[in-house]
Structure 1
């Protein structure tokens, strides 16, 4: 079952116009949330990021798009799908209404909310081999920090990874600095220093990224900095991990000939599970 513009529909009946601007022009944004027992984790952070993204893209935000409305809609959908007792994934998609060419005729929006099940709590995978994606770059700007429906670089990187047997790829910006992975934000540890690229370098302004940064600033055993990461630093690092809201923290175990520890990532996974789950 899916929600489209306040209406609950069976998936086979959930249709949208062929000329919707999300597919015609990538004129849309989305949020992916993790839920547990019918409640979205870090919901307020997701909500305000969605509102901010819509404002930046000059979308008219419906008056009923309140935190209470969206949270209740999520809970109702999970309940109808029988996913309100365990772990689940929610995607909220928003796209501008049909009409116009590059310049829209109407700034108002349509939206959908969909859900699917997740197996369990956060778990660090045992193997994740990565490389650099050099075919296309993330051009650092305010737009590159948003979760828009225009993710061509990530899609092409995903295809390259699949064709070359990598588990993920690290994306570069126009200055050929490491900004993120296909599936989330990237962190690097060297000794007791933790580093992640700053938002100004063009990385996604991830909700889990923000949460992890707050955790590191509380942990006395690490020195945390937001600083540009060069490709040369990757082979000197002791540990690399990727964060996102669905998987939590995922260790990179190998980059070219270098293998990495998963010590900090496992520490974070334990902390996240203690924070969010029973």
Structure 2
């Protein structure tokens, strides 16, 4: 007998080969089935999740984008309208300023032309006055030795041609001859044209307006062919006269002519007046 005959064997009995193959096949099939089911479930879940996410989020994104674009378009259009309105307003203001400047320039041009015309007229009057004075002095000098008494008689005749208030008026005016012309002055050392007329009439208690425009309408309008001593002569239109003087008889007037000549006595032919008013 073998020494190992009574030793119990610890090996497990072998299964039949066919049974082992069946077991292994079953296990593998179960695992594969499990994996297939899990994979199919995962794929199904993945497929279900992705379309759901796309269909839920994309419409919301597109709506927000459309709203933003629409708002941007409205804002852009409003900005363009505002810019156009501002441009039109600025253009209107520029046009108004240009028109105002043009009108002012035209007014200034006319005023300057009138001023130059007046200065030219006064200069012409001054030259004519100086020429007349030289001619008058020459004539007086030539005739003084021949007829001194005749000259005195003529002077007396001029002074006596006016009486009462008119004589007082003429005497005052002749006393001012030779004094300077100063614009805005009313005496006693200098006068302008209307200042002299106002001062002369104040000697006989008659108050006249200060300026020539108003003095030319201060009394009754009379013809220059029917003048009386003391009538106010004016140059220009009644109510807008630019010069005044006083008729002193004998076809003469006394007035404050201009800065070059001062206060002078002149023949009417030297500078025929436009009209006359009578206040006495």
Instruction: Note whether the superposition's TM-score is higher than 0.5.
Output: no
User: Which has more helix, going by share of residues?
Assistant: 2
Larger RCO (alpha carbons 8 Å, 6+ apart):
1
Name the larger-Rg structure: 2
TM-score by length of 1: 0.22
TM-score by length of 2: 0.22
User: Which has more strand, going by share of residues?
Assistant: 1
